[in-house]
Structure 1
Amino acid sequence: MTIRSKRMPTLAAISILVWCCGVAAEPLPSVAPGTPAPIDLQAAIRLALEQPGLRAAAYEVAASEAAVDQAGRYPNPELEYLREGQQAGTRTTTVQINQPIELGGKRRARLALAQGGVTLARGELAAQRQDIRSDVIAGYYAVLVAQERQQLAQSLIELARRGVDVASKRVAAGKISPIDETKARLAAVDASVELSQASGELAIARTKLGALIGKRADAITLAAHYPEQLPDVKPLAALLAAVGDSAPVQRARGHLAAQVAQTDVERAARIPDVTVSVGRQRDDEARRRQTVVGLSVPLPLFNRNGGNLSAALRRSDKAHEELAAAQVSAASDLENAYTRYAVARNEVALLRQDVLPNASSAYALTLKGFEFGKFSYLDVLDAQRTLFQSRSRHWNALLAAWRAFADIERFAGAATTTTQHRSTELESHP
């Protein structure tokens, strides 16, 4: 009976340890009636793309397209009435229509500028969609990892409580000092603090994701998904080839097109327009009517629009440099994200293959040795702390990998993964 009673805590501790290490691989419990439907990654992205911020950018595209129609309109004619003299029989009345005629390609330049505005608005819309997609990927997996860390903290509490039970029994048997029991109880308190912190991190992650997809934090339920399966990304050279489609480069390219079009508008404005006048004049004194034809041409003596043209040229030069800087910056950020992803992914693999199994085995052996008097409880606490830190480091590395992957998608877009629709495949991974 004594030998059996000594083995029971060991078996229970090992069972709890196995549950702790395998809890992340288990699917989430089924959704109870009345709770929100689970949201997978694609649904989260779709919800985020329906939020007011992106709709506002879409309205800007519609407004820019309407501006194109306005830019193609010709100047309105002008109806002019002129009367000379007040006495009947001696006055002269003239009625004429004045039609401005644009020269120098002003209408064409104005249309090009409006088309550039459409291109800029569409590029901004595409860039916002890409940014939103990347933010949702990072936020989605931040919630998943926070959930796993919360479960890890909960399992640590169970382990700490089991340690308190074992220590209490050994103190009662007179085999260890009461100080060891105090240490065990302190370890249980620390585990409760860890759970509180993990719960807080989960709440923050849910709030951030809820702000992206337009839902309350308490209304977010993610679909059953194990976030440890990381996607394979294309080689860096292939990703760099697609960096021209990144959000910052698209914005800079659209801004450059708009500035070039503005330069053409200012260049065309240097050529003055003419106004053609056609009308009829009635002379009461001579009792006759006659046709009036006129031509008005401004004389560009004092203002040839040189200052505006020079300013537009310099802004075009600035936009060229900004585009070059955006390309360099996007390539640099992509390389950094690629490196961070590779480092985090290697760390995840190393922790999963070597560190976590060894830490689990070390804790199980230390706890068993403690029950048989071969180790002090300080050794048990060290092994327990090492196990928790290993699991926590594992989830931190996973989160870092997913954040780096989101940044890669931000700068490389659809060219990120080696398999098309990889994100959809990931959602169905058990």
Structure 2
Amino acid sequence: SRLLDLAQRRLSAGIGTPLEVNAATVRLAEARRLRLTAVAEERAAFLRLVSHLGVDLPGTTALEGDLRSDAPPVVEETVISRALAQRPDLVAEARRLDAAESSARLAGAEGWPDVSIMASLAQEEGTELFSAGLRIPLAVFNRNQGGRQAAAAARERAQARGEAIRLEVTADARVAVTLYEQARAGVQLYDTDVLVAMEESSALMQFAVESGELAVADVLVVQAELLSGQMGYLDARLALAGAGARLRAAVGASQSAPLQEIVR
């Protein structure tokens, strides 16, 4: 609206043109349309979030807060170690492997015969006869071979699944670290260079507009560049937030956990 006011004042002062007023009117209408679209997209995203949470919230409920700003550097090996130690899928598979190994040990123990000691005392023609020995069942020739083989196969399958999950967890952690570091570098680039240049350009444009040194067409060009820069910064921040969420998931941490606790 400020740009439209400027165009109208320039036209009234005889230094502007109706074309400038029309251009400013179109830009204002487009800005309002983009705002309505953004509001609708925000509402749709909120409704999807509510659906995923499986809760019923009042219609006046709204999200609050800003994108997380914590972005500490991470060490890949530290992240991998934490993932291998606490990822729920890997922990669950380790428990299944323990159960399979216990079953294999039990099957092996059941393969040994149930040996028992026997003794007897008898009399024959006035003489006491004492005898002793071991009783071994005929199953000694079987030794539970079928059960032992089945238990060994189950243990090998559990070991293979565990190794596959371990490799998958390691790969997930490496990818998460790579994406996080890329997103972190992008935000740092904006923080150190782009934002400073954008602030300077905005201040210079405001001064030039107030002093009448810029025509409306020039202001439109500068505004478009500044808006593009702001959208790029928001995209970079959003990418960093998403990469942080993926990093937390890769190590099996809560999404509310500070990244400093994950990478230290």
Same fold by TM-score, threshold 0.5 exceeded? yes
Query: Alpha-carbon deviation of 1:329?
Result: 1.9
Find the aligned partners of 1:330 and 1:339 in 2 and give their Cα distance: 14
Find the aligned partners of 2:193 and 2:68 in 1 and give their Cα distance: 16
Find the aligned partners of 1:183 and 1:315 in 2 and give their Cα distance: 74
Q: Which secondary structure does the structure 1 equivalent of 2:16 belong to?
A: coil
* Residue correspondences, number: 235
Q: Which secondary structure does the structure 2 equivalent of 1:242 belong to?
A: helix
Find the aligned partners of 1:253 and 1:199 in 2 and give their Cα distance: 47
Give the corresponding residue for 1:321.
160
Check the 8 A contact 1:359/1:383 in 2, yes or no.
Answer: no
Q: Which secondary structure does the structure 2 equivalent of 1:232 belong to?
A: coil
2:178 paired with 1:339: yes
Instruction: Select the residue among 201, 218, 222 that pairs with 2:41.
Output: 201
What's the C-alpha RMSD, in Å, of the aligned pairs? Answer: 3.7
Give the corresponding residue for 1:237.
77
2:242 paired with 1:406: no
1:174-323 to 2 correspondences below 5 Å: 174-210=14-50, 211-212=52-53, 214-216=55-57, 218=59, 220-222=61-63, 225-227=65-67, 229-232=69-72, 234-244=74-84, 245-263=86-104, 306=146, 310=149, 312-323=151-162
Per-residue deviation, residues 323-344 of structure 1 (Å, max 9, x unmatched): 2222222222212222222222
Give the corresponding residue for 1:169.
9
Query: Alpha-carbon deviation of 1:199?
Result: 1.5
Check the 8 A contact 2:183/2:240 in 1, yes or no.
Answer: yes
1:148-159 to 2 correspondences below 5 Å: none
Find the aligned partners of 1:327 and 1:247 in 2 and give their Cα distance: 11
Q: TM-score if structure 2 supplies the norm length?
A: 0.70
Structure 2 unaligned spans of 5+: 115-136
Q: TM-score if structure 1 supplies the norm length?
A: 0.46
Q: Which secondary structure does the structure 2 equivalent of 1:230 belong to?
A: coil
Find the aligned partners of 1:251 and 1:237 in 2 and give their Cα distance: 22
Find the aligned partners of 2:32 and 2:145 in 1 and give their Cα distance: 73
254 and 386 in structure 1: CA distance in 2 versus 1, 3 angstrom threshold: farther
Find the aligned partners of 2:175 and 2:62 in 1 and give their Cα distance: 32
Find the aligned partners of 1:184 and 1:419 in 2 and give their Cα distance: 50
320 and 367 in structure 1: CA distance in 2 versus 1, 3 angstrom threshold: same
Query: Alpha-carbon deviation of 1:192?
Result: 1.9
Check the 8 A contact 2:173/2:247 in 1, yes or no.
Answer: yes
Q: Which secondary structure does the structure 2 equivalent of 1:218 belong to?
A: coil
Check the 8 A contact 2:187/2:236 in 1, yes or no.
Answer: yes
Find the aligned partners of 1:182 and 1:310 in 2 and give their Cα distance: 85
Query: Alpha-carbon deviation of 1:312?
Result: 4.8
Find the aligned partners of 1:197 and 1:311 in 2 and give their Cα distance: 61
299 and 401 in structure 1: CA distance in 2 versus 1, 3 angstrom threshold: same
Find the aligned partners of 1:333 and 1:198 in 2 and give their Cα distance: 33
Q: Which amino acid in structure 2 is aligned with residue 249 of structure 1?
A: L
Give the corresponding residue for 1:354.
193
Find the aligned partners of 1:337 and 1:162 in 2 and give their Cα distance: 44
Q: Which amino acid in structure 2 is aligned with residue 232 of structure 1?
A: P
Find the aligned partners of 1:270 and 1:243 in 2 and give their Cα distance: 39
Per-residue deviation, residues 121-142 of structure 1 (Å, max 9, x unmatched): xxxxxxxxxxxxxxxxxxxxxx
Check the 8 A contact 2:104/2:155 in 1, yes or no.
Answer: yes
Query: Alpha-carbon deviation of 1:193?
Result: 2.6
2:226 paired with 1:387: yes
378 and 315 in structure 1: CA distance in 2 versus 1, 3 angstrom threshold: farther
Find the aligned partners of 2:259 and 2:157 in 1 and give their Cα distance: 35
